[in-house]
Structure 1
Amino acid sequence: MNVASITEMWHRLTGTQPDPSRWLVLVTALIALGAVASRGVWHVTRNAVTIAHEGGHGLVALLSGRRLDGIRLHSDTSGLTVSRGKPYGLGMVLTAAAGYTAPPLLGLAGAALLAAGHITALLWGATALLLVMLVMIRNAYGALTVVIACALFLAVSWLTKAQVQAAFGYLVVWFLLLGGARPVAELQRTRRRDGSRSSDPDQLAWLTHTPAALWMLLFYTVALCSLLGGGSWLLRA
Structure 2
Amino acid sequence: MMDTLLIVEDEARLARLLADYLEAAGFHTHQIGDGREVVAWVREQAPALILLDLMLPGQDGLSLCREIRRFSQVPIIMTTARVEEIDRLLGLELGADDYICKPYSPREVVARVKAVLRRATAAGPPDGDDPIELDEAQLRVRAAGREIELTAVEFALLATLHRVPGRVFSRDHLMDRIYRDQRIVSDRTIDSHVKKLRRKLAELRPGEELIHSVYGVGYRYEVRPPP
For the aligned pair, the TM-score class normalised by the smaller chain equals under 0.3
**Structure with greater helix percent:** 1
Higher relative CO (CA 8 A, sep ≥ 6), structure 1 or 2? 1
Higher strand share: 2
* TM-score, normalising length: structure 2: 0.26
